[in-house]
Structure 1
Amino acid sequence: MRTRKGWLAAVAALAMAVAGVLTPAGPAAAESNGGTRVMPLGDSITEGTQVPGGYRIGLWQRLAAGGYRVDMVGSQFNGPGNLGDHDHEGHPGWRIDQIDANITGWLNTYQPRTVLLHIGTNDILQNYNVSTAPNRLSTLIDRITATAPNADVFVAQIIPLANAGQESAVRTFNNALPGIVQAKVNAGKRVHLVDQHSALTTADLIDGVHPTATGYDKMAAVWYRALQSVSGSIGTPGDGGGTTYQNVQLVGGGSGRCLDVPNGSTTNGAQVQLYDCWGGTPQRWTYTAGKQLQVLGNKCLDANGRGTANGTAVIVWDCNGQPNQQWNLNANGTISGVQSGRCLDAAGYGTANGTKINLWDCHGGSNQQWSTRS
């Protein structure tokens, strides 16, 4: 069997909280809810200078209200309590070239399905080779699409600046973007232009550079409409409550390996196992509204013999809709049987290829933690 190693953080359901204490900017705590991974990428306007969390607050709230399950990803972390996911890749003061120098590592680490790119403001503020900034942006987009070819990349025409000379440079920069994006589209790349510039005026800037809370929310509305216009970029409405997953891998938190049907067997009774994530059909699961975990077309995850005891083998069987084939995806990252109340468990805390999956009393340990991966 061909293999490809992979790793995701364990599932942690993220509910929208009431407004709370601001969290400091810094390395991400890797919040994850198993949803569609979206990377907010850019400078202080992504980080949310002046209004910690920035546009990500309003975007998160719109996504949650729309029933989308989205996992914001990145190495940075900040924002208030009413921002349900604080991860991002916004770096205050950074230019296009600095993002470009780091982007490959970030993409390989966080594997976003969607990238929201707002960058170029600091090239203008720092008067850094402004005339060639569009070329640098084009190179950055190429690096993103080469590293993450299946990701949708939303490229923003950057927001206004209050200084008249700098605003003239912003407009020149922005005017180059439609041609750059169209060239990528013509080359078959999944790149989309987003006009953030016309969404704001200088009245929406708190310091001539960064938006007010209202300005950031206007940005959020533009991002949200753009995301909704591209199928799959933020999943499907209804997934936000965990109702369904389509064709995903289930990754063990303790092992980093995937829930796998040995050798892709369609024989009733084949016991599932851990195996290196390689993305083939024996590792592609669909969680249905009927709480079944389907694989290989018409096979379902099943508690052997309708068993409910500790150690009951977890197998695949023809889908029949019975309670021993129904599973709850729990807020703490575990998956428990509706009939038994016991959890999918990697036997003996095993992490090696071939470790069998059984039912066991739910304790929330790493061998019972699972996350989704597209």
Structure 2
Amino acid sequence: MTTRSHGRADAAGPGAATTDAGKASPRAWGRRLATALLSLVLAVAGAVWTAGAAGAESNGGVRVMPLGDSITEGTQVPGGYRIGLWQRMAAGRYTVDFVGSQYNGPGSLGDHDHEGHPGWRIDQIDANITGWLRTHTPRTVLLHIGTNDVLQNYNVSTAPQRLSTLIDHITAAAPGAEVFVATIIPLANSGQEAAARTFNAAIPGIVQNKVNGGKRVHLVDMHSALTTADLIDGVHPTAGGYDKMAARWYGALQSVPGSIGDSGGPTPTGSALRGVGSGRCLDVTGVSQANGAQAQIWDCNGQSNQQWTPTAAGELRVYGGKCLDVYSNGTADGTAVIIWDCSGQNNQQWRLNSDGTITAVRANKCLDVSGYGTANGTKIQIWTCHGGTNQRWTLS
């Protein structure tokens, strides 16, 4: 038997990590110093920064463009609010295609495309928006911009007018799109927070003016969704803060019919495997069907990525043709459990035991929730069988 080696995508994508709203982390760029310096010069000049660009992912769903600065990109937590938003839309059975020229985020994010540019102000986004919209043709735009105008103290008093002009350019280039305009999140510095609040106070009137003109523009109060306790560095959210943003975006999208399509899709077949210790279900991260997608636990929702079919060959199949798989034929404690094209190899064979444990045939170790975790997103691995609640499952 030939042992295969699974390929694994770079979880963070090729975009540079950043440490604040406009500065690149030296560690992230250390191996390509010359490229980093050039990128910094281009960013300051307002040119399109392509270091985070990659081939677009598409699933044929409703095209949604996350648009803004490092908070859209997900500085400090790559993927940012897009992770939780994607998970919520997947759980709601919405088929959505994130679009944009940039690309980053972890494997738990099913689509990494976005239009978030660290350090960019309203005017810099405005200088490029028409081209992006013509290229990516979004049905829906999620706009969170203005933080860097405040941080850079860049003509803050006229920032609302620049935002209004940007919205006009969006609606002109994409007249059929639903445009969701967010107030910017809080800032820890008291003087900057005062400026942010002044800027935010103008946004409802701007949005209402567009609505009165027949434009499909919607206000999202993002500022009230977070507090400064949700910031990791005084500017960017923690993982929990980004998830609060995701929840606020999702609620806004659900309130506008058609903005993310219709909830539905084919009824999944198979059965759920519910962890006894967590009460959550065995789940494929991000509803991904890609080889190498990580298995995790998540709130049980009946989605196709939680529907497992035991076969006479000992497989646990999902999506019809993918199998629960021990990464790279591993046998060591802590080896990751993923999905892969069904191949008949014994690292894809499982034994369902009467005590609720599930044994990996090749490794003779149990399907295990890492570290007795109970939180959404806790990874699945194999571990020496001990009968703990994190190794027991119910099939329903």
TM-score w.r.t. the length of structure 2 is: 0.56
Q: Deviations over 1:131-180 (max 9, x none)?
A: 00000000000000011000000000000000000000000000000000
* Partner of residue 14, structure 2: 24
Whichever residue aligns with residue 192 of structure 1, its letter is H
Cα RMSD of the aligned pairs, angstroms, is 1.9
What one-letter code is carried by the residue in structure 2 that aligns with 1:101? A
| Mapping 1:134-153, distance limit 5 Å | 134-153=160-179
Cα offset for 1:107?
0.1
Instruction: Please tell me the residue identity of whatever aligns with 2:68.
Output: G
Superimposed CA distance per residue, residues 312-362 of structure 1 (whole angstroms, 9 cap, x where no aligned partner): xxxxxxxxxxxxxxxxxx99xxxxxxxxxxxxxxxxxxxxxxxxxxxxxxx
Q: Are 1:222 and 2:212 counterparts?
A: no
Could you say which structure has the greater relative contact order, defined with CA pairs below 8 angstroms and 6 or more residues apart? 1
Matched, 1:96 2:86: no
Distance 1:241 1:159 in 2: 38
2:68 corresponds to 1:42: yes
**Which of 213, 232, 235 in structure 1 is aligned with 2:239?**
213
Q: What's the secondary structure of 1:131's corresponding residue?
A: helix
1:20/1:98 CA distance change after superposition, 3 Å? closer
Residue aligning to 1:60: 86
Which of 115, 118, 133 aligns to 2:141? It is: 115
Contact 1:199 1:219 in 2 (8 A): yes
Using the alignment, how far apart are the partners of 1:184 and 1:230 within structure 2? 16
Q: Which amino acid counterpart does residue 129 of structure 1 have in structure 2?
A: N
Give the whole-Å Cα distance in 2 for the aligned partners of 1:229 and 1:168: 30
Cα distance change, pair 188–23 in 1 and its aligned pair in 2 (3 A): same
State the partner residue of 1:74.
100
Partner residue, 1:341: none
How has the CA–CA distance of structure 1 residues 166 and 87 changed in structure 2, closer, same or farther, with 3 Å as cutoff?
A: same
Identity across the alignment (%)? 80
Deviation string 1:14-70 (CA, Å, 9 cap, x unpaired) is xxxx99832222113210000000000000000000000000000000000000000
SS in 2 for 1:231: coil
The answer as to 2:41 corresponding to 1:51 is no
Q: TM-score, normalized by length of structure 1?
A: 0.59
Structure 1: runs of 5 or more not aligned: 1-17, 243-329, 332-374
Q: Is the 8 A contact 1:69 1:241 kept in 2?
A: no
Q: How many residues of Structure 1 are paired with residues of Structure 2 in the alignment?
A: 227
Written as runs of structure 1 = structure 2, the 5 A alignment for 1:1-374 is 21-25=11-15, 26-239=52-265
SS of equivalent residue, structure 2 residue 207: helix
| Residue 104 of structure 1, CA deviation | 0.2
SS of residue paired to 2:182: strand
Q: Which runs of 4+ in 1 moved over 4 A?
A: 239-242
What is the CA–CA distance in structure 2 between the aligned matches of 1:174 and 1:37, rounded to whole Å? 27
CA positional deviation for 1:75? 0.1
SS at match of 2:127: helix
One-letter code aligned to 1:24:
P
TM superposition shift of 1:238: 1.1
Distance 2:240 2:67 in 1: 20
Check conservation: 2:14, 2:53, Cα contact below 8 A.
no
Aligned residue type for 2:76: Q
- Label 1:238 to 1:180 Cα distance change in 2 as closer, same or farther (>3 A): same
Secondary structure of residue in 2 paired with 1:24: coil
> Which amino acid in the other structure matches residue 66 of structure 1?
G
1:262 aligned partner:
none
